[in-house]
A and B are shown apart, each in its own frame.
Chain A
């Protein structure tokens, strides 16, 4: 069966510090991978998605970047965090390019930038 792992679960970082959140998927190959951010009181905003290694699409201009060094690994990074980067970050995967594919989510990372 497929599983998705995301870590860390919580993170408190000072403004201006770097960030690296990691997500891995097991039990499948060539998944589509996604990073979402959930700000307090808001819905989920798609940040990045990837259909293959080194194929990353950015949905919104921001202080963050994403990389996919391996087929089932998706990393969210920042060189210098801003206060506005605080939020709940969710990694997700789906199989195939069919636009009705359901997404499977990780357990999320609560990031607080102070």
Chain B
């Protein structure tokens, strides 16, 4: 069974600071996918990134970057130069055998001026 742990319940930073959101996953599958979703105050979850278990190359998209390390079963998410609009709940999730996402409990990020 899949399990995703986001140990950080809430993080507060000041605008322009860098912030890293941690995600640790557990799986017995050799093929799996990892995701990050953003949930702004409006409630709708917005897809950010998907990585498969065979691709450990880190990815950068603008101010967002992701660090996937199979050796530590982690898929951490870094926001560089955070902005107030980044304030949201961020969810890490994984799939294994089957097409069902298992979500972590989310990290509430608050970016203040």
Contacts and interface: CB of A to CB of B under 8 A. Distances in A.
Q: Which of B32, B97, B101, B105 has the most CB of A within 10 A?
A: B101
Interface stretch (B12-20, B37-45, B58-66, B70-78): B37-45
Contacts of A92: 45
Contacts of B95: 99-100
A103 interface: yes
Interface residues of B, number: 30
A41 B44 contact: no
Interface string B10-37: 0000000000000000000001110101
Nearest to B106: A43
B50 A100 contact: yes
A88 B95 CA distance: 22
Contacts of B46: 105
Interface residues on A, range: 20 to 34
Interface in A1-51: 32, 34, 36, 41-46, 49
A98 to B, nearest CB: 7
Interface of B: 4, 6, 9, 31-33, 35, 37, 42-47, 50, 52, 91, 93, 95-106
